[in-house]
Amino acid sequence: MDYSKLYIDGQWVASSGNQLFSVVNPATEEVCAKVVMGTQADVDTAVKAAQVAFKTWSKTSSEYRANMIQTLVDKLREYRDELAHSMSIAMGMPLHLAGEVQADDQIDILETYVSRTALMDEVKTIGNAQVIKQPIGVCALISPWNYPLNQLVGKMAPALAAGCTMVVKPSEQTSLQDFFVAKACDEIGLPAGVFNLVPGYGPEVGVALSSHPDIRLISFTGSTRAGIHIAQNAAQNVKRVVQELGGKSPLVIDTGCDVNAAVEYGINDVMINTGQTCTAYSRWIVHKDVVQDVIALAKQKAEAVVVGSGDDAFMGPMVTQAQQERVLNYIKIGIEEGATLVTGGLEKPAGITKGFYVQPTIFADVNNNMTIAREEIFGPVICIIAVDNIEQAIEVANDTVYGLAAAVYAKDKTLGFEIAKQLDAGMVYVNGGSYNIEAPFGGMKQSGNGREFGDEGLHEYVELKAIHVD
């Protein structure tokens, strides 16, 4: 695959600039690809192409768009191995996991929007008013490096289903898979200008997209700090903003639950993407009666996690050296603030000499005022906080600026559901409840606004129009 050109208006074209970004494989510390970085001028060209395409794409039938999305799904399944490999080398996730975690589920999400194109045909009658749905317009889709295909699909799928056109900017570190998506769009005959790919740096391409007067919606996934800047830029021309931002998600473990299952669930959730998951349960809020059992099991299971890049590995490296250094600094802060280091720490995992690796790390005796309990670490670090009762657990869980996800382990599902209703989180998983790709995904408070996936994800890309006829 050639990563040196942009995909604009149905063509692979050179950038107006001459910048290339060196993608470093975090498992080997070697450059694995060089990717073109677009410019503000490239953004302008892409937006113009998307504007022209919108005039016809927005008027296509729901059946036509459904067929086009299904054809894209089929083509991406053909590229499944290439998608998995491209994300594995850029992120460091072991290849066998990248296929399942970073590719398969994401293509399935795209397929859920085949039937949702028909939602655009619905008309609501209110007296003499007919309320119809129309696509919002040209959209800017900015995806992160931790789940790059997932977050592209979560934005692209509803945009296509609604009849919107788009300019896509992936993270510079993990943009390789987007080139395969662009190639697939080209090969299936998606009309020129509907999908435009402009990789680039946030301060140039990201700012150009978020402040562009002809873009009507921006969907962004990333840090809360970056999300605030994007919202400020978008406010200049009152474009709609959909954001999924930071998190410090709690796992509440109550007395009477299956403690072993709770710990297994929490360890797997945090470690599978090296803690680089916005919803990762990095705060474990545990009833004092079972906290010692939880600590012992967490130590045992964390130390059993196979770290590396081989077929038996469950956890890979941090995505960049900067991220590795950031996480190690938080571990150092945790030690300095008096938390008990149960396992892990500042050294590289045993037997590993190369790569941006961090050990699975568990802290106990953490209070919710410590830095490691309040700030998003985005690494394989878990803080265990003991509480006296479930009321205190709920209070501690909600004592954060974030509200993305939460999990509860209780003695039964009924109690777990009642606890879940009291947690400030956009998504709550009870007793290991499985992830549902048809349900809305998004957060409360400083974890963002709007929702992705499901019907609610489509609604973000829709304008409602009331037509009054007597």
CA distance linking residue 306 with residue 459, whole number of Å = 41
Q: Is residue 277 part of a domain?
A: yes
CA distance linking residue 257 with residue 411, whole number of Å = 4
Q: Is residue 271 part of a domain?
A: yes
Instruction: Specify the 3-state DSSP secondary structure of 65.
Output: helix
Beta bridge partners of 406: 428
Find out whether 250 and 285 touch, Cβ atoms under 8 Å.
yes
Are both 225 and 77 inside the same structural domain? yes
Which CATH number does the domain housing residue 332 bear?
3.40.309.10
Residue 450 pLDDT = 97
Helix count and strand count (H, E) for the chain: 16, 22
- Domain with 277, as residue range(s), is 250-436
Are both 268 and 170 inside the same structural domain? no
Are both 231 and 284 inside the same structural domain? no
Q: Is residue 441 part of a domain?
A: no
- Provide the token pair at 60: 């296509």
CA distance linking residue 266 with residue 253, whole number of Å = 10
Q: Active-site positions?
A: 244, 278
Which CATH number does the domain housing residue 53 bear?
3.40.605.10
Please count the structural domains in the chain.
2
CA distance linking residue 346 with residue 288, whole number of Å = 28
Are both 163 and 82 inside the same structural domain? yes
Are both 290 and 427 inside the same structural domain? yes
| Nearest residue to 157 (alpha-carbon basis) of 121, 208, 105, 122 | 105
Q: What angle do CA 205, 138, 183 make, to 5 degrees?
A: 70
Instruction: Specify the 3-state DSSP secondary structure of 439.
Output: coil
- Provide the token pair at 202: 């946030």
Q: What angle do CA 366, 368, 373 make, to 5 degrees?
A: 75
Q: How many Cα neighbours within 13 Å face the side chain of 394?
A: 15
Rounded to the nearest angstrom, the gap between the alpha carbon of residue 400 and the centroid of all alpha carbons in its chain is: 20
Give the DSSP H or E segment for 54: helix 40-57
Q: Is residue 140 part of a domain?
A: yes
Instruction: Specify the 3-state DSSP secondary structure of 174.
Output: coil
Single-letter amino acid code for the residue at 159:
A
Single-letter amino acid code for the residue at 464:
L
DSSP letter string over 16-49? SS-EEEEEEETTTTEEEEEEEE--HHHHHHHHHH
Are both 36 and 95 inside the same structural domain? yes
Q: Is residue 442 part of a domain?
A: no
Are both 266 and 405 inside the same structural domain? yes
Are both 189 and 314 inside the same structural domain? no
Contacts of 361 (CB under 8 A, 6+ apart): 302, 331, 341, 343, 344, 345, 379, 380, 381, 382
Find out whether 221 and 230 touch, Cβ atoms under 8 Å.
no
Find out whether 252 and 424 touch, Cβ atoms under 8 Å.
no
Q: What is the pLDDT along the chain (470 residues), one digit of tens a residue?
A: 999 999 999 999 999 999 999 999 999 999 999 999 999 999 999 999 999 999 999 999 999 999 999 999 999 999 999 999 999 999 999 999 999 999 999 999 999 999 999 999 999 999 999 999 999 999 999 999 999 999 999 999 999 999 999 999 999 999 999 999 999 999 999 999 999 999 999 999 999 999 999 999 999 999 999 999 999 999 999 999 999 999 999 999 999 999 999 999 999 999 999 999 999 999 999 999 999 999 999 999 999 999 999 999 999 999 999 999 999 999 999 999 999 999 999 999 999 999 999 999 999 999 999 999 999 999 999 999 999 999 999 999 999 999 999 999 999 999 999 999 999 999 999 999 999 999 999 999 999 999 999 999 999 999 999 999 99
Are both 369 and 222 inside the same structural domain? no
Q: Is residue 408 part of a domain?
A: yes
Q: Is residue 232 part of a domain?
A: yes
Question: Which whole-number Å values give the CA distances from 395 to 104, 368, 464, in the listed order?
Answer: 37, 10, 39
Are both 14 and 37 inside the same structural domain? yes
Are both 348 and 396 inside the same structural domain? yes
Q: Is residue 24 part of a domain?
A: yes
C-alpha torsion angle, residues 268, 271, 275, 279 (rounded to 10): -10
Find out whether 384 and 366 touch, Cβ atoms under 8 Å.
yes
Contacts of 69 (CB under 8 A, 6+ apart): 110, 111, 113, 114, 117, 157, 160, 161
- Provide the token pair at 414: 């009924």
CB-neighbour burial class of residue 415 (10 A; exposed 0-12, middle 13-18, buried 19+): middle
Residue 143 pLDDT = 98
Question: Which whole-number Å values give the CA distances from 162 to 22, 60, 157, 268, 419, in the listed order?
Answer: 35, 10, 9, 36, 36
Are both 225 and 254 inside the same structural domain? no
